[in-house]
Structure 1
Amino acid sequence: MTFDPTLFLPDDLLERIRERAPIHDRENTFPEQDLAELRAAGYLSILVPTERGGAGLSLEQAAILQQRLATASPATALAINMHLVWTGVAKVFSDRGVPGLEFVQDGAVAGDVFAFGISEAGNDLVLFGSDTEATPQGDGAYSFTGTKIFTSLAPVWTKLGLHGLDTTSPDGPKLVFAFIDRTDAVTTSDDWDTLGMRATQSRTTRIDGAVAAAEHVVRRIDPGPGADPIIFGIFSVFELLLASVYTGVARRALDLAVQTAQKRTSKKTGLAYSQDPDIRWRIADMSLAYEALPPQIAALARDVDEQADHGALWFTLLSGTKHRAVTMAKHVVDQAVLTAGGGAYFSSNELSRLYRDVLAGMFHPSDPESAHSAAASALLGPLQG
């Protein structure tokens, strides 16, 4: 049966989100109404199995939905992405018979909002290391102290998934992945004043002894690359849903360029811009770039869903897809702005906002350097010496 994304993101809901997007961008506020409507529509639990009360969608289907949501509000889609990453990791676990994240699935159904607390300033190890201190409490619980950056959903999250380094246990060092509640031990800075993606409100989060209960400590693993499902789960879901958001941005930019070309008329020829050979080439170029990405994302997400074995190639396949999506999206938005002409330079023009939003893509892991490094290692082997 063909998947119908309008069942989860109906046109009227999408239009309301689109109408609110420029307001939140202008005022630098979090889209509370978007979240409320998406929660009411069951969107927070789309990746939770039906037997636990969710919609039971696949990662492939969630990627389609995130592309659709991003056409209305890239920032809302990117913020929701971070919640969906954790429910997606929980799905990776349950699909493979790995216990430990059922509380994430149950929490999503109950209305919890999960945020992603992995990024740290200057930590280019990302998933493979942490500057946050993880201290065992003797009963299986851990306390965490450190600073996380780019914490999307900052004003609204109820659970923060994070990692820290345990250097005190006899078997350490160990990288600890866990979930904490929002308590007095967590301080959210009001420091999100950025060029684009403003409604994500991805503020800095300072953690001072916040405790994760034993049942919410998900993994203790060796630092560095490894085969643990927490690493694969986070990396695969994060990269593919990010690629989806920026592919959705490109789709919207392409649609706006087509609309502009059809309604503008050349004073020189008296014809619609859609009849101008240069404009036609530019729009065709946008389409050729965009059309390659949705099937790539779908195929790789399906492989995650179906537990395909790409072995050591997984990381270059995933980082490469994310890299291609963001570079494609930037190219398409650039072309759309040129197609629309000087009107796109005004801040009231939607393309102006897309132009700013799309720039954020390069800052998300995997960055261009790590994507190229993964590809080179896959083809040439690791660096010697």
Structure 2
Amino acid sequence: MTARTLLTDEVLERIHGRAATHDAENTFPHADLADLVELGYLRAFVPERLGGSGLSLEEVAREQTRLAAAAPATALAVNMHLVVTGLAARLVADGDESVEFVLRDAAADEIYAFGNSEAGNDLVMFDSVTRAVPDGEGGYRFHGTKIFTSLSPVWTRLATFGRDDSDPDDPRLVHGVVERAGTSTRDDWDTLGMRATQSASTVLDGAHSPVTRTYRSFPPGPNADPFMFALFATFEVLLAAVYTGLAGRAVELGAEAAHRRRSRKNDGAPYADDPDIRWKVAEAAMRHDGARLQVLALARDVDERADHGARWFAQLVGLKVRAIEDARAVVDLVLRVSGGAGYSTGNEINRLYRDVLAGIFHPSDEESAHATIASSILGPPTRRD
């Protein structure tokens, strides 16, 4: 079956042309977002019956690799909206209507951000330092600070969570959606790379999730709620897709540099004829090819409800770590192929070299991924020193 597509070459070219300026000026790509909204890209996961395109996870992953090749930071920012709408689309397709409002919001061009990460919380989704205070009507007010809130200048809805300790004997992790009221955005995004995401910190000071938008409550720690699988599957696959798309663009830059550079030692022959350069470009291409095939294959497995049993989470976190590490290796190889010119700030491979480093900070990190995979094969550790 031919994959459906929403992104046009014309729009991707425009987005690519703006990427360097947004990186240099540390600004949000408002024009990129406007182009994507006009294409209906933010409604990619929304079912056709609600006014969207109803794309699968595999189809959106393909699109994200293309968008990331044009502008990695724009793709990473939009990823957060797509994660929220993608997990909602999966749950709704499986009969869970508690999050259908997310898809209706997206159909009305509301922009979702993903407000879960917290400084110093290495339990990530299994606990929270944000307080979730019951409002007495089944909803909650959240108090805390979320970091790495991509789309911070433009989001209109924030999917977030916190811990409800109102019953000391039954603490709960509560997930819901808030609007801008009761929130503020810190001006603290001045980073090495992925600058156009503008992933500033968001302070929650009583931000309200009414009962109609509070869709999960469960104990701290791992659990088997389908929400957790939908979240991890969508997040890890689309994250891997972004960095794989970045790596694909790096391979193109490596080929361009190899043909452009000339060797005085070899009578002006292009570096593309040099066996060492050819090896580096081939190695970069092999790593990218493998990563791309893995992303699309696992996305298809998610779409088709494949049975990986107890190893599903191991497959997902492993994909993320491999995609990031492969992308880092690809960019490093291409930087070597590019020569000294690649060290200049205005060179695109310089920007990709900085952008790709952000991947190591997204969950799951290398340590937790290895722990998850080890437990899926060896079982949990029997003793802890």
- Separation of aligned partners in 2, 1:106 and 1:16: 29
- Which residue pairs with 1:248 in the alignment? 245
- Separation of aligned partners in 1, 2:58 and 2:84: 16
- Which residue pairs with 2:214 in the alignment? 217
Q: Residues 220-299 of structure 1 correspond to what in structure 2 (within 5 A)? A: 220-269=217-266, 270-299=268-297
Query: Aligned pairs, how many?
Result: 382
- Separation of aligned partners in 2, 1:4 and 1:262: 34
CA displacement, residues 267-313 of structure 1 (integer Å, 9 cap, x when unaligned): 11121111100000000111111111112111111111112222210
Q: Residues 68-79 of structure 1 correspond to what in structure 2 (within 5 A)? A: 68-79=66-77
- Which residue pairs with 1:3 in the alignment? 3
Q: CA deviation at 1:109?
A: 1.2
CA displacement, residues 162-208 of structure 1 (integer Å, 9 cap, x when unaligned): 0101110477211100000011x101000000000000000011111
CA displacement, residues 319-365 of structure 1 (integer Å, 9 cap, x when unaligned): 00000000000000000000010000000000000000000000000
Matched AA of 2:43? S
Q: Residues 195-214 of structure 1 correspond to what in structure 2 (within 5 A)? A: 195-214=192-211
Q: Does 1:193 align with 2:190?
A: yes
Q: Among 163, 176, 179, which residue is 2:177 paired with?
A: 179
Matched AA of 1:316? A
- Which residue pairs with 2:27 in the alignment? 29
Matched AA of 1:199? A
Matched AA of 2:330? V
Q: Does 1:359 align with 2:362?
A: no
The answer on whether the counterparts of 1:279 and 1:339 sit within 8 Å (CA) in structure 2 is yes
- Which residue pairs with 2:152 in the alignment? 154
Q: TM-score, normalised by structure 1?
A: 0.98
- Separation of aligned partners in 1, 2:169 and 2:107: 36
Going from structure 1 to structure 2, the CA distance change for 1:153 and 1:232 (only over 3 Å counts) comes to same
* Structure 1 stretches lacking a partner, 5+ long: none
- Separation of aligned partners in 2, 1:256 and 1:324: 22
The answer on whether the counterparts of 1:136 and 1:169 sit within 8 Å (CA) in structure 2 is no
Q: CA deviation at 1:4?
A: 4.8
- Separation of aligned partners in 2, 1:231 and 1:167: 21
The answer on whether the counterparts of 1:114 and 1:160 sit within 8 Å (CA) in structure 2 is yes
Identity of aligned residues (%): 54
* Structure 2 stretches lacking a partner, 5+ long: none
- Separation of aligned partners in 1, 2:133 and 2:345: 47
The answer on whether the counterparts of 1:330 and 1:355 sit within 8 Å (CA) in structure 2 is yes
CA displacement, residues 73-121 of structure 1 (integer Å, 9 cap, x when unaligned): 0000000000000011111101211121111111111111100000000
Q: Residues 266-345 of structure 1 correspond to what in structure 2 (within 5 A)? A: 266-269=263-266, 270-345=268-343
The answer on whether the counterparts of 2:4 and 2:55 sit within 8 Å (CA) in structure 1 is no
Q: Among 49, 65, 68, which residue is 1:67 paired with?
A: 65
Matched AA of 1:335? L
CA RMSD of aligned residues (A): 1.0
- Separation of aligned partners in 2, 1:308 and 1:335: 35
SS of the equivalent of 1:268 reads coil
- Which residue pairs with 1:347 in the alignment? 345
- Which residue pairs with 1:53 in the alignment? 51
SS of the equivalent of 2:145 reads strand
Q: TM-score, normalised by structure 2?
A: 0.98
Runs ≥4 residues deviating over 6 A: none
- Which residue pairs with 1:122 in the alignment? 120
- Which residue pairs with 1:83 in the alignment? 81
- Separation of aligned partners in 2, 1:271 and 1:21: 32
Matched AA of 2:297? A
